Structure 1
Amino acid sequence: MNPTNRATRVILMRHGRSTFNQQQRYQGSSDASELTEQGCETACQIGQWLQDLEIDAIYVSPLRRAKQTLEQIQPYLDHRIPVYVRPQLREIELPDWEGLPYEQVKTEFTELYQTWKQQPHKFKMGHRHASEYELEKHYGNTAVLTAPAPTATQTEYFPVLDLYLRAEQFWQDVLPHRPGQTILVISHGGTNHALISTALGLSPAHHHSLQQSNCGISILNVAADLQTAQLEVLNLTTPLGETLPKLKEGKQGLRLLLVPSDTNATDAAKLAEFLKSVPIEFSLASDLDHPTVDRLLVHHPRAVNLQVCREQFLQDWLGTLRWKPITISDLTTGLVVAPPASLQLLLAEATGLPLNQHRRFQLHPGCLSVLHYPSANQRPVVQAINLSTAGTAGLAAATQTSVTLGGRVNG
Structure 2
Amino acid sequence: MERAAADALDASAVPDVFDPRVYAAGVPHERYRLLRDRHPVAWQDEPEIQGWPAGPGFWAVTRHADVVRVLRDHTTYSSCLGATQIRDPDPADLPFLRRTMLNQDPPGHGRLRRLVSRAFTPARVDAFAGRVRERARTLLAAARDGAADGAADLVGAVTDEYALLNLTDLLGVPAADRGLLLEWTVRIIGYQDPEDAPAPRLGPDGKPLNPRSPALLGEMFAYARELAAHKRAHPGDDVMTALALAGLEPAELEMFFFLLTVAGNDTVRSAAPGGLLALARQPDAYRRIADGSAPVATAVEELLRVHPPVLSFRRTAARATELAGQPIAAGDKVVVFHASANHDERVFTDPDRLDPARSPNPHVSFGDGPHVCLGAHFARLQLRTLHEEWRAAMPPPELAGEPRGLVSNFINGITRLPLRVSGPPR
Same fold at TM > 0.5: no
Structure with the bigger RCO (C-alpha within 8 Å, sep 6+) is 2
Q: Which category describes the TM-score, using the shorter chain as reference length?
A: under 0.3
Structure with a larger share of its residues in helix: 2
- TM-score, scaled relative to structure 1: 0.25
